[in-house]
C-alpha cells in the first residue's frame, strides 16, 4: 500500500512530504539517475547508487496511443490508453501511461505531473494503481 492505495508494485514508489513520488536511484559517484531503483550505475559502471524520489513534474518528451488491447502479461481494463516519455528536469526521461489518450490533446513539451491511477481491480474488487502523468493542473 502506498498512501492507502493498492499499487501494481510498491517498490516503484516513495512517499514524500509533497506526495507520492517515483522511487529512483542516483549514482553517488557520477550523478546519473535511473528508474526504477537499481544497484549498478549504467553510466559509470560503479555500484554506489542511492535511493531518491524523482521529480513529480516534468514535460512530455514523446507520446503515442496504444490502439489495441495488448496480449498478456497486460492485465489492465482499458484496451486503449496514452503512453509517453516524460522528461523530469535534471534527472531522466521516464516512460509512463498518460491520463490522456486523445492525440489532439497531447503535444511534445506540454507540462505534466505525476498521478496514481487505477488500471485494474484485484480479485476482491479493489482498485490496483499504477503511475501515470497528466496535464499539470497549475499550468
The 3 state secondary structure assigned to the chain is CECCECECCHHHEEEECCEEEEEEEEECCCCCEECCCCCCCCCCCCCCEEEEECCCEEEEEEEEEECCCCCCCCCCCCCCEEEEEEEECCCEEEEEEECCCCHHHCCCCCEEEEEEEEEEECCCCCEEEEEEEEECCCC
Please give the residues from 98 up to 117 whose contact with another protein meets the rule CB under 8 A: 103, 108
> In the complex, what is the shortest distance from the CB of residue 4 to another protein, in angstroms, rounded to a whole number?
19
Q: Using CA atoms, how far apart are residues 18 and 55, in angstroms rounded to an integer? A: 10
Question: x-or-dash pattern for another protein, window 78-97, by CB under 8 A?
Answer: x--x-xxx-x--xxxxxxxx
Does position 33 interact with another protein (CB under 8 A)? The reply is yes
State the number of binding residues for another protein (CB under 8 A). Answer: 46
Question: x-or-dash pattern for another protein, window 34-73, by CB under 8 A?
Answer: xxx-----xx-----------------xxxxxxxx-xxxx
> In the complex, what is the shortest distance from the CB of residue 76 to another protein, in angstroms, rounded to a whole number?
5
Among 11, 19, 50, 122, binds another protein (CB under 8 A): 11
Q: What are phi and psi of 50, to 5 degrees?
A: -120, 145
List residues binding another protein (CB under 8 A).
8-9, 11-12, 24, 32-36, 42-43, 61-68, 70-76, 78, 81, 83-85, 87, 90-97, 103, 108, 119-120, 130
Amino acid at each position: 500500500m502506498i498512501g492507502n492505495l493498492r499499487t501494481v508494485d510498491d517498490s516503484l514508489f516513495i512517499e514524500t512530504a509533497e506526495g507520492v513520488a517515483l522511487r529512483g536511484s542516483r549514482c553517488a559517484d557520477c550523478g546519473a539517475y535511473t528508474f526504477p531503483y537499481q544497484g549498478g550505475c549504467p553510466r559509470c559502471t560503479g555500484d554506489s547508487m542511492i535511493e531518491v524520489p524523482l521529480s513529480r513534474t516534468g514535460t512530455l518528451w514523446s507520446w503515442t496511443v496504444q490502439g489495441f488491447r495488448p496480449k498478456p502479461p497486460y492485465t489492465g481494463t482499458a484496451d486503449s490508453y496514452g503512453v509517453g516519455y516524460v522528461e523530469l528536469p535534471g534527472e531522466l526521461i521516464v516512460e509512463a501511461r498518460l491520463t490522456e489518450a486523445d492525440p489532439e490533446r497531447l503535444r511534445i513539451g506540454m507540462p505534466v505531473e505525476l498521478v496514481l491511477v487505477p488500471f485494474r481491480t484485484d480479485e476482491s474488487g479493489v482498485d490496483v494503481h499504477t503511475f501515470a502523468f497528466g496535464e499539470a493542473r497549475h499550468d
